[in-house]
């Protein structure tokens, strides 16, 4: 009986850790997308570290945003792909959380 309880507690702890990791990863990625959008809207002065930061944000966010840009064309100067990308990440987070909860 004690081994069964220990195994159940270990499974619950593992599932909770996975859920926290997924939630944190998605939250950080959403913040990176917001930073990418803000840095592309505001023209920053040239500084080597700002250039590296913008390049990092581009390298991290643009491949994911290109998935949506293929299907959703920009409306004039407005690019809605970051909004759709963030909403899809939130939906994915909810789906993954419910799947992890169903395992328990």
Sole residue written with tokens 């293929």: 70
Residues 6+ apart with CB under 8 A from 102: none
Domain with 93, as residue range(s), is 2-103
- CB-based contact 104:14 (threshold 8 Å): no
This prediction's pTM = 0.84
33-56 pLDDT, tens per residue?
Answer: 999 999 888 887 888 888 899 999
66-75 pLDDT, tens per residue?
Answer: 999 898 887 8
Total structural domains in the chain? 1
Buried b (16+ CB within 10 A) or exposed e, 28-47: ebbeebebbbebbeeeeeee
pLDDT tier, 32 (very low <50, low <70, confident <90, very high otherwise): very high
Length, in residues, of the chain? 104
Among candidate residues 42, 37, 39, the one with its CA nearest the CA of residue 80: 37
């Amino acid at each position: 009986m004690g081994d069964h309880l220990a195994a159940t507690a270990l499974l619950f702890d593992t599932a909770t850790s996975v859920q926290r990791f997924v939630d944190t990863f998605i939250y950080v990625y959403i913040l990176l997308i917001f930073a990418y959008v803000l840095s592309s809207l505001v023209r920053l002065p040239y500084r080597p570290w700002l250039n590296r930061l913008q390049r990092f944000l581009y390298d991290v966010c643009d491949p994911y945003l290109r998935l949506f840009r293929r299907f959703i064309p920009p409306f004039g100067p407005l690019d809605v792909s970051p909004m759709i990308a963030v909403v899809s990440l939130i939906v994915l987070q909810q789906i993954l959380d419910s799947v992890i909860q169903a395992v328990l």
